[in-house]
Structure 1
């Protein structure tokens, strides 16, 4: 491969500079060469070498405005803002129409969180610059810092009018539209952008994302397809196309899209999982299991993989296999509430009430405060005859769900079972007030209490 002339010169300058540092010989460079060398070292994070190059550059070119502006940039980088500002004022006296002076002034104000002042200086820079796109981009970023998304959006749009290929500005425009909840307007903007730049895979991809968010999956697939026509190695577009195809129940096409991501790069656990889910929807249980197993092999810490295998066996009512896999998952992560809830549910289905109670208890302990988890846990205690513990747990659940009839009817049944009639009737009254239809809970869970004449009379009295 042959380097073009400018790149050859650039590499020669770097080699010559590094040779000078090693031999302590002094070579001459023009000021622009020094600027490129300094910026190269800053870009790769070698600040000390950048400072050496700056010192040598200023020794050879003490009046170079370009080098002094680089010096300002380094002072700002080191948070020496007062020194940087003083130097900028000296440069302004010499070159009052140099746009870089105003850009660096804006940079200083931005660092001080004075973003409105930064925008003022960037607007002055617009009067003198030839690179309007860069300045509009910087203005957009300042408005983002101020959370002024509307002004930021307009600035990034102006940037794209000057430089249609600026991908970061395109992403930022879409971000602003989305943040402002203007997804339809974003799609319309992207249509006009695509008219000007039809081969922008990023614009098609962003359109697809927006259509997907609006549940317009047909148009989402179409946009992602165009994106992959332009760049047939665009992994993100294939991945999201697969998601949209799944929504359309086009499972074979979705599998192809996910498989393409695996061909282009190392397989991701997400793609493997989705392929497994698609095969399961197609009724191909052998392939589904194969890909679920590949998922957990690829990423043993991904809980969705273990859950997919466990839930697969639960749906087949193969509870022994489901228990085997949920135990494997718990051996890897014994603080995962999703695993513990499934451990409880599987044991409940197998009438292992003690193990089920333990599973639900651990699920709540690790942060699962969903109503059904509390109720499953309490129901296991009820099955085991632990009425007092069940009551204490329901009182705890009521802190999260203070107006929940399902809790009140269970409390009523438990208290009445313990012959605590006053408390039982209080909670029965609450349950009837909240939802009369849910009285069936009392009938199903506490049939002996339900059949009591006193309870039936209480319910009849309440209905009157």
Structure 2
């Protein structure tokens, strides 16, 4: 392998500098060599060596503006902003048209959270710079800090007009479009970008993501395919292509795409899970189960894996197996509300009411506030004859769902079972007001209450 001339010189400078440090012999470097050496050490996170190189550089080239600007960068890095600004003012007096002075001033004001002032300095830098792309990119970043996504987008687009290969600017443009809910506009922008740069796998990949977001799965697949033609090892594009193919119900093609990610890289639990789901959709239960097992083996902490295997057995009505796997999942993470809800549902199906009640209670305790969870829990309490606890639970549920007829009808039923007619009628009235049509909830859940003449009269009166 042959290094180009610049890279050879760069490596020689580095090895020469490091041998100088070991021997304590002072060797001469020109100021640009020192700048490269310092920036190399900064990039490597070796601040002490960078400071040594800077000190030696300034001793050999005390008037070098380039080295002093590197010194400013290091002062900013160390949060010595006042010192950095003082040095910049001195440099400005000598070189008032050096764009780097304005860029560093902007950096200081950005660090002070004065992003408007930072933009002013960068606008000035535009007058003197030859590297417009870099300055537009910096302006875009300042507008991002100010949450002005429109102006950020505008400047990232200008950056790409100057340098269409700037990938970070491309990602940022798409981010701005998406944040502004301008997905269709983003797609149109990427079309024009791809016309200029058809071999940008990033642009094709981002187009695919955007098409997927607007549910245009055919174009999403096409875009991801182009990304993989350009870069045959683009794992992310194969993964996203698999997702789009699933949406098109092309499960065999999706499996092929997910398998490609496993060939190119270590198998991810997500890819294994998706392959399992595709096989299940194809009716191949043996392969589905095989991949669900591989998923939980690959990543025991991925709750989607345990949920997939548990739900698989629930769909087969094999509740013993489902319970076995949900218990394994709970042994790994006993604070996962999704596991507890399934534990409750499975036990309910097996008529294990105490365990089901415990499961729903735990699901709510760990943050499952979905309406159906509250209602399933309360319905189990009814079976167990715990009417007072059911009422207390419904009061809690009503805090999250203050105008829900299902809660009100249940409250009415429980109060009437406890012969609390006034409270029962109050909640029955609420239920009838919120949704008269579903008053049959009382008939389904509380048949003895429904059969009461007083209840039928109350409903008839409300109908009138």
Give the TM-score of the pair, scaled to structure 1: 0.98
In 2: Cα distance, 1:116 partner to 1:409 partner: 57
Instruction: Show the counterpart of 1:315.
Output: 315
Task: Classify the secondary structure of the residue corresponding to 1:9.
Answer: helix
1:87-124 Cα distance to aligned partner (Å, 9 max, x none)? 11211222222111111111112112222222222122
Alpha-carbon deviation of 1:2? Answer: 2.2
CA distance in 2, matches of 1:47, 1:442: 73
1:5-61 Cα offsets, whole Å, 9 max, x none, are: 221221111111111112211111111111011000100111111001000000011
Per-residue CA deviations over 1:251-300 (Å, capped at 9, x if unaligned) read 11111111111111011111111111111001010010011011000110
Deviates more, 1:383-392 or 1:451-460: 451-460
Partner of 1:40: 40
Aligned equivalent of 2:338: 338
Which residue pairs with 2:18 in the alignment? 18
Local SS of the residue matching 1:72: helix
Separation in 2 of the partners of 1:77 and 1:183?
37
1:301-329 deviation digits (Å, cap 9, x = unpaired): 11000000011111111111111110010
Alignment of 1:116 onto 2:110:
no
Q: In structure 1, what is the Cα distance between the partners aligned to 2:24 and 2:344?
A: 73
Matches within 5 A, 1:375-386: 375-386=375-386
| Aligned match of 1:237 | 237
Quote the Cα distance in structure 2 between the aligned partners of 1:357 and 1:295: 30
**Residue in 2 that maps onto 1:181:** 181
**Equivalent residue, structure 1, for 2:424:** 424
1:351 aligns with: 351
> Matches of 1:126 and 1:425 in 2, distance apart?
74
Whole-angstrom distance in 1 between the partners of 2:316 and 2:437:
32
Q: Distance in 1 between matches of 2:383 and 2:224?
A: 53
Taking the TM superposition and a 5 Å limit, the aligned residue runs for 1:57-456 are 57-456=57-456
Distance 1:54 1:46 in 2: 12
Gaps of 5+ in 1: none
Query: Structure 2: how far apart are the matches of 1:409 and 1:116?
Result: 57
Following superposition, the deviation at residue 132 of structure 1 comes to 1.2
Residue in structure 1 matched with residue 29 of structure 2 by the alignment: 29
- What SS class does the counterpart of residue 63 from structure 2 fall into? coil
Helix, strand or coil for the counterpart of 1:426? helix
SS of 1:68's partner is helix
The 3-state SS of whatever aligns with 2:334 is: coil
CA distance in 1, matches of 2:82, 2:451: 85
Task: Give the stretch that moved more between structures: 67-76 or 145-154.
Answer: 145-154
Runs of 4+ in 1 over 3 A off after TM superposition: none
Distance in 1 separating the partners of 2:441 and 2:430: 14
Question: What is the deviation of 1:437?
Answer: 2.1
CA distance in 2, matches of 1:100, 1:427: 72
CA deviations on 1:143-173 (whole Å, 9 max, x unpaired) are: 1112221111111111111111110111111
Q: Which runs of 5+ in 2 are unaligned?
A: none
Deviation of the 1:461 alpha carbon: 2.1
- TM-superposed deviation, 1:419: 1.5
Segment drifting more, 100-109 vs 65-74: 100-109
Secondary structure class of the residue paired with 1:172: helix
Structure 2 CA distance for aligned equivalents of residues 347 and 215 of structure 1: 38
Counterpart-to-counterpart distance in 1, 2:270 and 2:182: 29
Deviation (angstroms), 1:246: 0.6
> 1:454, CA displacement in angstroms?
2.0
How well do the aligned residues superpose, as a CA RMSD in angstroms? Answer: 1.1
